Amino acid sequence: MSQTVAQTSIQGGQQLVLVQGDITKEQVDAIVNAANEWLQHGGGVAAAIVRAGGEVIQEESNRIGRVPTGHAAVTSGGRLPARYVIHAVGPIWSHYSPEEADRLLASAVHSSLQRADELGIATIAFPAISSGIYGFPKDRCARVMMEAVEEYFAQHPDSSVREVRLVLFDAPTLEAFRAEFATRYGNG
């Protein structure tokens, strides 16, 4: 069961919500998958999404092929509550300088929100992209992702997206995001 941990309004009135829970159960228009460049969903949140949504997600991903780091592609949501899965390819921390990793993670967030706007959707849920097996430090991931969401809405005030949920599964990730949220917005 998902639990809202904190919530605030940002830039153009969009809601930014921290949630502890399972992204595959979120009642939103689209969820974001922390994907690899080849969209092979064999581990982590990607595998959980395919398990919950069905093989159709992997089949559609196979037809898309490669997505460069920092970009995103869209498939249907299969059996998920969400209509769409936006597959965002975040950076592998050890492959880039910290500054380049930050830029690529921000780009993956921007690209996901752009895909959401192209679909005309109102609600989207993100995991902590690249902070699992890709090794991106959780506190830094929280800062970069929140900054990227703010920047996107500052640049796209007419966005169809009204709510961004950051859905965090484990306690260490939740605490890193909660700390960044409190620093930026107070306790929500």
Ramachandran assignment for 62, one of left (phi > 0), alpha (psi -120 to 50 degrees), beta (any other) = alpha
Residue 186: predicted pLDDT = 86
Residues in the chain, pLDDT under 70: 1, 187-188
CA distance 72 to 67: 7
pLDDT at 188: 54
pLDDT at 187: 67
pLDDT at 11: 77
What are the domain boundaries of the chain? Answer: 3-185
Q: pTM to 2 decimals?
A: 0.97
From residue 92, alpha-carbon distances to 100, 123, 126, 131 in Å are 11, 27, 17, 9
The pLDDT value recorded for residue 2 is 86
The pLDDT of residue 12 is 83
Check: CB of residue 50 under 8 Å from CB of residue 58. yes
CATH class of 3-185: alpha beta
